[in-house]
Amino acid sequence: MESVQLAANVAMCQQTLKHRISCTGVGLHSGKRVAMTLQPAPPGTGVVFQRTDLSEDEGFIPALWDRVCDTTLCSTIANDHGARVATVEHLMAALAGCEVDNVLVELDSAEVPIMDGSAAPFVFLIECAGLVQQDAARRVIRILKTVSVEDDDKLVKLSPGNGLSVSLEIDFENPHVARQTHRFDISGLIFKDELCRARTFGFETDIEEMRNRGLARGGSLQNAIVVGEHGVINEGGLRYDDEFIRHKALDAVGDLYLAGAPIMGAYQGVRSGHGLNNGLLRTLFADLDAWEMVEISTEGDERIVSDWKQFQSSPIAAIA
């Protein structure tokens, strides 16, 4: 079997944070103030959220695709007790881009803080906390055959490939966004330089309707790009000329990290969104011939992890 080919800067060992680190912010949709702490976690933990405003028995939620319960304008995960955490995708993208395998995310509310609407503040937190390699081989999910999900004129697809690449097409009626296409070969450096600062965006004409639906109550020009009739109304304009499609790529990276490990394959999205991204992971893992989990040694050797059922459950007991 062909050996796994990873970018030279990709970690071969699992990684966690050196130190705990905290921040406060507001939930984009709830509008509530929230405190968040990122804690180091043992090898094999994965990304696990803990609602500290709930009892310990009720508050743990593994950040996995089969825990996604809502995809309305964000990715929301829940556990069997009904505890939820919304808007996880930007933090998940930062963890993926910084190659953090194991972390406990403590929250005192039901939504990750939106910060400035991008993943850059989370990357800053991770870099301030520092990373430490752990005595466990890193695992990646290798795509073996193409899987796809379609919905009218929307499409998402995963195909075999080396590393993770993200190809996107967006198409909005608003002429200030319109149609854009781009392809990114995701690595830590590319994520930090080209994606992590891209902010979430919305349209001025949709704000009232969203707030009537209980959404975007914490949204402002400080944490989102707002596009009006005559263009972007934020002071200072865009951070990138094509910031809109870059943010969509950031969202895709975050949604795909809910697979539970880095994906080695080519992602393609046409008018994609959180719902289709989650549907793609559900389709992928329903087909045991479409993927395999590979454990990479520090020498670059590989071992196929055959017990896929064990992979589906996060070892919360290790940190509880």
pLDDT tens figures, 77-93? 999 999 999 999 999 99
29, 90, 247, 274: the catalytic one is 274
Active site residue 274: yes
Handedness of CA 40, 61, 127, 219 (dihedral sign): negative
Q: How far is CA 161 from the centre of its chain?
A: 20
Residue 320 has a pLDDT of: 41
Q: How far is CA 184 from the centre of its chain?
A: 15
CA distance 246 to 54: 35
Residue 11 has a pLDDT of: 62
CA distance 13 to 186: 18
Residue 303 has a pLDDT of: 81
Walk along the chain (320 residues) and give the pLDDT tens digit of each residue: 344 444 434 568 999 999 999 999 999 999 999 999 999 999 999 999 999 999 988 999 999 999 999 999 999 999 999 999 999 999 999 999 999 999 999 999 999 999 999 999 999 999 999 999 999 999 999 999 999 999 999 999 999 998 999 999 999 999 999 999 999 999 768 899 999 999 999 999 999 999 999 888 999 999 999 999 999 999 999 999 999 999 999 999 999 999 999 999 999 999 999 999 999 999 999 999 999 999 976 666 678 886 554 444 444 444 44
Residue 108 has a pLDDT of: 97
Residues near 4 by beta carbon (within 8 Å), at least 6 away in sequence: 140, 142, 264, 294, 296, 300, 302
Q: How far is CA 218 from the centre of its chain?
A: 20
Residue 200 has a pLDDT of: 97
Residue 307 has a pLDDT of: 58
* CATH superfamily of domain region 13-318: lpxc deacetylase, domain 2 (3.30.1700.10)
Residue 315 has a pLDDT of: 44
